[in-house]
Structure formats: C-alpha cells, structure tokens
C-alpha cells in the first residue's frame, strides 16, 4: 500500500465493503451534503455534483486522498430516491416492474493535484413484480434506505432480469472507475 492515506466520505456499508474487498486501507466518515436535485438538473450532472460535494466537504490533510460517491436510480426523467414509507416503496417497485432503468453513480476523488470525477452508468432490467412480492420485499426491511427501493446485492436481486454495465456501480461504488481514479492518484489496488 502506498504512503498516501485514503478517506471515504460516506457511511455506506456497501461502499466500505467494496473498498475492503479491494484490500484497501482507509478511514471513513459521513458528510453533511444537501442532496436535493437542482431545478432542471440532469441526473448525471446531479450525481457528479454530489460526489464532488462529498469529496470536498472533508478537510483534506497532506497525503490524504478523499473519495466521494453518489448513486441515483433513474426511470425516464424521474430520480427514484429512498422510499418514504411502504406505499412509496411499493409504488417505486411497480414503476420499475417489467422495465429498464438506469443506475448512475458519480465518483469524485480529491487529491493535492485537484479533484477528478467519473460517471458509471448501468442499465438494469426488472422482471414483472407482483404487488404481493413488492409488499413482502418491503416487509423484509431491505429496501427502506435504498435508492429505487431495492438492493441488487440482496433480496432485491430476485427482481433483476439483466444488467448492462457495472454491477458494483449499482451496489454503490463502481470498481473499474474507482480503481482508475485511485491509480491516477498513486494508490495501487494490485501491487507487489
């Protein structure tokens, strides 16, 4: 591992798991960022703006690299955030049922050389979801804090018919794109 220290500006257990699986040593803490979509803002611009804001919200120390990320589930022009309640989750799953949606994850890396961003876009196709399945899924507790009311890496994966793009991007941190940014900052994932 390089002498450069890595900090994840997130409390997401899924992002931590991905970085741990890559064998990286890092610190982590959440940051307070207003995640509201700006008027007329495109979804891809929003996730990149929020990833940048998260990376910039951390006071970077010398030799510290800060990683920020933001993920959005997008159906048409609508961003499906975290469900407010059972009815909202069941409604989201009904909207996604039998359709293809996009999962966009913006990743930002702040270093002494500046800030770089990268975008991961994945198309996810859901099979038809029966209302009783959507309700049972909500009652499992899994979709409560998940954008689009599902977790592909959990029970929500049963709804996924196909994906085109980054599986880890749908989980919350695209490995390929993240490793590109880390490599450019001098942090090697695979090294002697």
Q: Which one-letter DSSP state was computed for residue 146?
A: S
Dig out the tokens for 85 from the structure. Answer: 């309640």
Cα(18)–Cα(30) distance, rounded to whole angstroms?
16
Residue with structure tokens 């749908």? 170
Q: Quickly state the pLDDT bin for 61 (edges 50, 70, 90).
A: low
Which is the catalytic residue, given 44, 70, 132, 184?
70
pLDDT, one tens digit per residue, over 74-95 is 999 899 999 999 999 999 999 9
**What dotted CATH number matches 5-184?**
3.90.950.10
Dig out the tokens for 184 from the structure. Answer: 């450019």
Q: Report yes or no: 144 and 135 within 8 Å, Cβ to Cβ.
A: no
Q: Quickly state the pLDDT bin for 30 (edges 50, 70, 90).
A: confident
pLDDT greater at residue 190 or residue 84: 84
Q: Report yes or no: 103 and 126 within 8 Å, Cβ to Cβ.
A: no
| Tally of CB atoms within 10 A around 188 | 13
Can you list the alpha helix ranges (DSSP code H) found in the chain?
13-21, 43-57, 86-96, 131-139, 167-171, 175-184
pLDDT for residue 62 is more than 80? no
Residue with structure tokens 């040593």? 25
Cα(133)–Cα(166) distance, rounded to whole angstroms?
26
pLDDT for residue 16 is more than 90? yes
| Tally of CB atoms within 10 A around 76 | 9
pLDDT more than 90, % of the chain: 82
pLDDT, one tens digit per residue, over 124-156 is 999 999 999 999 999 999 999 999 999 999 999
Nearest Cα residue to 68 out of 153, 177, 173 = 173
- Look at residue 100 in the predicted model and tell me its pLDDT: 98
> What average pLDDT does range 174-185 have in this prediction?
94
pLDDT for residue 68 is more than 70? yes
Dig out the tokens for 118 from the structure. Answer: 């990268």
Known catalytic membership, residue 145: no
Q: Report yes or no: 102 and 121 within 8 Å, Cβ to Cβ.
A: yes
Calculate the alpha carbon distances from 48 to 61, 107, 109, 180, 182 in Å. 23, 7, 11, 16, 17
pLDDT for residue 1 is more than 60? no
Q: Report yes or no: 68 and 110 within 8 Å, Cβ to Cβ.
A: yes
Model confidence, pTM? 0.91
């Amino acid at each position: 591992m390089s002498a450069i220290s890595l900090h994840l500006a997130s409390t997401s257990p899924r992002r931590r798991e991905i970085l741990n699986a890559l064998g990286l040593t890092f610190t982590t803490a959440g940051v307070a960022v207003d995640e509201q979509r700006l008027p007329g803002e495109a979804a891809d611009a929003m996730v990149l703006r929020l990833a940048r804001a998260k990376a910039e919200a951390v006071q970077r120390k010398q030799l510290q690299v800060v990683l920020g990320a933001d993920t959005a589930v997008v159906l048409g022009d609508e961003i499906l955030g975290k469900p407010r309640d059972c009815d909202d989750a069941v409604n989201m799953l009904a909207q996604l049922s039998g359709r293809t949606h996009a999962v966009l994850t913006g990743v930002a890396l702040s270093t002494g050389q500046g800030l770089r961003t990268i975008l991961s876009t994945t198309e996810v196709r859901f099979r038809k979801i029966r209302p009783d399945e959507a309700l049972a899924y909500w009652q499992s507790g899994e979709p409560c804090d998940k954008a689009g009311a599902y977790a592909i890496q959990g029970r929500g994966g049963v709804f996924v018919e196909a994906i085109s793009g980054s599986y880890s991007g749908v989980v919350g941190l695209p490995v390929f794109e993240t490793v590109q940014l880390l490599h450019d900052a001098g942090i090697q994932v695979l090294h002697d």
